[in-house]
């Protein structure tokens, strides 16, 4: 296989995974069919089966790809931010987005008793543990600065995952609002970063009245 053919095959596989993610998110694993996924991808079923053995294999590919993408986004967050608060926010935004996009699939994994899903849950637990450890490292920086509201960075990281998940299962709050709220609950911006300012940026009634008075 030439490099061009390999690139094309990788691109086609990615498109099939993206199509499957949309179908699983809209219909759930049980209701989704390979026909639905092929239609969403604009491909024939034989094409799907050339890349994936069946719906189970495609489902696993979807959530593994989602976790791989998240890990890459965490790499970017760590490489492009300086303060612990900036880094935490930059990590929680893609985490929230991943949860929201794949909430149906993640619920399927947590609720299913099938052998295949038990295997996937083991993979998910391992990956979650790695993500928690990365968040805990950031929170340890906050603790060293005297800014972590809890004494245990590992426990705080586990709570972060739960709070972000809870926030993104509601349509009332967008991903950025959830990320800011969780950050504000756990850390104080004592490094004088401006990260958390948007959380407290909404003017009070008194602030608004003062601004009107100053403008006169």
Query: pLDDT for 146-183, tens place per residue?
Result: 999 899 999 999 999 999 999 998 888 899 999 999 99
Say whether both 42 and 67 belong to one domain: no
Q: How far apart are CA 18 and CA 15, in angstroms?
A: 5
Say whether both 134 and 205 belong to one domain: yes
Angle at which helix 84-101 crosses helix 55-80, to 10 degrees, equals 160
Domain count, the chain: 2
Please report which residue ranges of the chain form alpha helices under DSSP H: 3-31, 34-41, 45-51, 55-80, 84-101, 103-111, 115-144, 153-168, 175-186, 205-215
Say whether both 21 and 92 belong to one domain: no
The domain that holds 37 is classified in CATH as 1.10.10.60
Asked, for residue 57, whether it belongs to a domain, the answer is no
pLDDT on residue 30? 85
pTM: 0.78
Closest CA to 159 of 108, 88, 87: 88
Asked, for residue 143, whether it belongs to a domain, the answer is yes
Say whether both 40 and 78 belong to one domain: no
Q: How far apart are CA 30 and CA 156, in angstroms?
A: 35
Q: Quote the DSSP letter at residue 114.
A: -
Asked, for residue 114, whether it belongs to a domain, the answer is yes
Say whether both 17 and 85 belong to one domain: no
**Mean pLDDT of all residues in 3-23:** 90
Q: How far apart are CA 123 and CA 102, in angstroms?
A: 16
- Are the C-beta atoms of residues 91 and 135 closer than 8 Å to each other? yes
Asked, for residue 71, whether it belongs to a domain, the answer is yes
Say whether both 14 and 95 belong to one domain: no
Asked, for residue 194, whether it belongs to a domain, the answer is yes
| Higher pLDDT among residues 33 and 109, named by residue | 33
Say whether both 115 and 205 belong to one domain: yes
| Dihedral, CA of residue 166, residue 81, residue 188 and residue 182, to nearest 10 | -10
pLDDT on residue 204? 31
Say whether both 122 and 26 belong to one domain: no
Say whether both 10 and 68 belong to one domain: no
Which two three-digit tokens encode residue 12?
Answer: 């086609």
Asked, for residue 58, whether it belongs to a domain, the answer is no
Distances (CA, A) of 178 to 20, 43, 88: 27, 37, 12
pLDDT on residue 86? 92
Say whether both 122 and 210 belong to one domain: yes
The values of phi and psi at residue 187, to 5°, are -130, 150
| Dihedral, CA of residue 68, residue 74, residue 75 and residue 78, to nearest 10 | -170
The domain that holds 182 is classified in CATH as 1.10.357.10
Which two three-digit tokens encode residue 172?
Answer: 């009332």
Given a cut of 50, whether residue 187 has pLDDT beyond it is yes
Q: Which domain holds residue 74?
A: 63-215
Asked, for residue 208, whether it belongs to a domain, the answer is yes
For 82-130, the pLDDT digits (tens) are 889 999 999 999 999 999 988 877 777 666 545 566 777 788 888 899 9
**Mean pLDDT of all residues in 22-32:** 88
pLDDT band, residue 20 (cuts 50/70/90): very high
State the average pLDDT for the chain: 83
Closest CA to 135 of 100, 68, 85, 101: 85
Say whether both 10 and 71 belong to one domain: no
């Amino acid at each position: 296989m030439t490099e061009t053919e390999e690139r094309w095959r990788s691109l086609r596989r990615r498109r099939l995974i993206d199509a499957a993610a949309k179908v699983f998110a809209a219909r759930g694993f049980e209701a989704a069919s390979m026909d639905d996924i092929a239609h969403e991808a604009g491909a024939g079923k034989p094409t799907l089966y050339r890349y994936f053995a069946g719906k189970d294999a495609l489902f696993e590919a979807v959530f593994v790809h989602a976790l791989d993408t998240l890990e890459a986004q965490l790499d970017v967050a760590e490489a492009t931010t300086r303060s612990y608060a900036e880094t935490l926010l930059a990590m929680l935004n893609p985490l929230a987005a991943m949860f929201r996009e794949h909430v149906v699939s993640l619920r399927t994994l947590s609720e299913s008793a099938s052998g295949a899903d038990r295997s996937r849950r083991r993979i998910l637990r391992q990956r979650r543990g790695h993500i928690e450890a990365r968040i805990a490292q950031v929170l340890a920086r906050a603790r060293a600065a005297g800014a972590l509201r809890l004494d245990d960075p590992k426990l705080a990281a586990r709570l972060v995952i739960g709070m972000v998940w809870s926030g993104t299962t509601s349509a009332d709050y967008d991903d950025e609002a959830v990320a800011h709220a969780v950050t504000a609950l756990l850390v104080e911006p004592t490094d004088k970063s401006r990260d958390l300012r948007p959380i407290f940026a909404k003017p009070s009634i008194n602030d608004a009245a003062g601004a009107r008075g100053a403008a006169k």
